[in-house]
Structure 1
């Protein structure tokens, strides 16, 4: 199997440990606004206690903070914290549970490594999570992987799991029993190049991967959910960036499914990616106050977050990147 036959950069993001920059344009000479991985991921829920069960009962995460409205989850004190914010029933969904990968807007999935994915899929069903597709078996060089996207049927939140069946975990990635720490977050975009320029030219992020449109050489199950019969004719193009080269966590991935000619069109969820919505809407950096003051010099498309000394950047398809003061 060719390296890109699987699902291209999704397999790359899961198993590659060195920077890949083939076909990448020359990056703008922009100093990155941060030099760290994101610290938090915000997910709106209708019921924090019920939603958290995927992470606490299956994933081995701990609730390190909880009040009636907010719960903070973390994997054994390591990695990004998952912030659950309970919203009233009837709050809009950032992305509907049936949203397809060719429908752009907001964040598609939070990505983490896992072990024994088939058992996780079965256990998760009882908690209201359904696999987007059957488990996809992927190969990339020496790595063999199981990959699946789990969709929370109440909120539309998606968790993308990668299980390495052969190669060891990347050096420095904390060990785990079933769920690892978050390492990547994916956006579905209407124009990959526009979103890539936002990250590289405005935020100054480094290129991990920037690829040409890709189609499979034979029909196959893809975690993106492109119909099997269309995987050889519907291309997608993708990029991965991070503030610093070689980061194993804190990456951003953006994918554009180019399916209009095949009739793969639909809704745009850019406008529903707000803090009033349930689902995966925002990643957060915790930075020093001095850093926040310097961020104020960025272009004027940034809006002040109501809480005060914090700033938020919004990607072209609505996904929010917030900079908050260190606690």
Structure 2
């Protein structure tokens, strides 16, 4: 049986029906994010699932350059190794897993619930078979707030589940059963096309990405179905009609990838997790967007009153090249890096 669905899931399907607003990010050549940086205690518990079920492959591995650690303001005693993994045929939406050493760390969202703001909540991927992936993930020791949810939206027949791995690292998986999704190769686990941030104020977070960073608006909604619907966020069934999941998605350029999504669960007061949303902690730490004209884009961002969290030049990042970069924090403390490779 197909069920009505909470707005968190409806919005994914709604995105294609909402016109984008032009932003200045595209004018400066900001492209879809190339990779997410994820702090881990060990590589295999996550990469083994990506490889076995999604055909992801390791593209690079080794020591993290000292200049990169310094950009994150880590002490001289800190060191790190990394593995960079990508989905088949993907040029964006890869993941750089980093193991830090010589420095204290903790999970970004330690013991957090979905409605707690601060810290990147999930990376979002597509799949050609959510139930099979869910079964494989559970057998591999992953968990979820719910079993896969199936629902209809307009002409689309959809499935969704949020898989939880070590230290609360979430991968939200979407399957469009019909009509077929053809914008990019999907497979069992596609590249990451979006990233969810739980926020304390949706309008404020949306406006930061829209106005300060010059992204384009994909959708903006706070509607809920009137009937109780199963929630992939652990919300009790009888509460789903009265807890609006107000959300908006934005991206630097039009397309089906490189997105950022913000969500506020209105009616639940969460505990702020932003104090720990930085390297070297465990979890999804930041996204990296390549930029054609980094200096001009930084000037435009700063002109909007945006503070630069850190910046560095000529940093060697294996897999990206030697880059200049700067980073900003959104109103809920989440990091985003912008870089230009020489």
Following superposition of structure 1 onto structure 2, how do residues 222-233 of structure 1 map, counting pairs within 5 Å?
A: 222-233=231-242
CA spacing shift, 1:228–1:240, aligned 2, 3 Å: same
Q: TM-score scaled to structure 1, two decimals?
A: 0.86
Aligned to 1:273: 277
**Which of structure 1's runs of 4+ aligned residues deviate more than 6 A?**
none
Alpha-carbon distance, 1:108 to partner: 1.2
Distance (Å, rounded) in 2 between the aligned partners of 1:140 and 1:36 = 29
Q: Which has the higher helix share?
A: 2
Contact 1:284 1:321 in 2 (8 A): yes
Distance (Å, rounded) in 2 between the aligned partners of 1:168 and 1:17 = 14
- Select the residue among 176, 193, 205 that pairs with 1:195: 205
Distance (Å, rounded) in 2 between the aligned partners of 1:13 and 1:139 = 12
Aligned to 2:124: 111
- Select the residue among 146, 151, 163 that pairs with 2:175: 163
Contact 1:147 1:162 in 2 (8 A): yes
Q: Which runs of 5+ in 2 are unaligned?
A: 64-80, 316-323
Distance (Å, rounded) in 2 between the aligned partners of 1:16 and 1:232 = 21
CA spacing shift, 1:14–1:323, aligned 2, 3 Å: same
- Select the residue among 316, 320, 334 that pairs with 1:319: 334
Aligned to 1:123: 136
Aligned to 1:24: none
Q: Which runs of 5+ in 1 are unaligned?
A: 22-26
Contact 1:238 1:254 in 2 (8 A): yes
Matched, 1:180 2:190: yes
Contact 1:28 1:201 in 2 (8 A): no
Contact 1:30 1:202 in 2 (8 A): no
Offset from partner CA, 1:263-283 (integer Å, 9 cap, x none): x33421111110111111210
State the superposition RMSD in angstroms.
2.5
Alpha-carbon distance, 1:177 to partner: 2.8
Distance (Å, rounded) in 2 between the aligned partners of 1:63 and 1:15 = 33
Distance (Å, rounded) in 2 between the aligned partners of 1:209 and 1:268 = 25
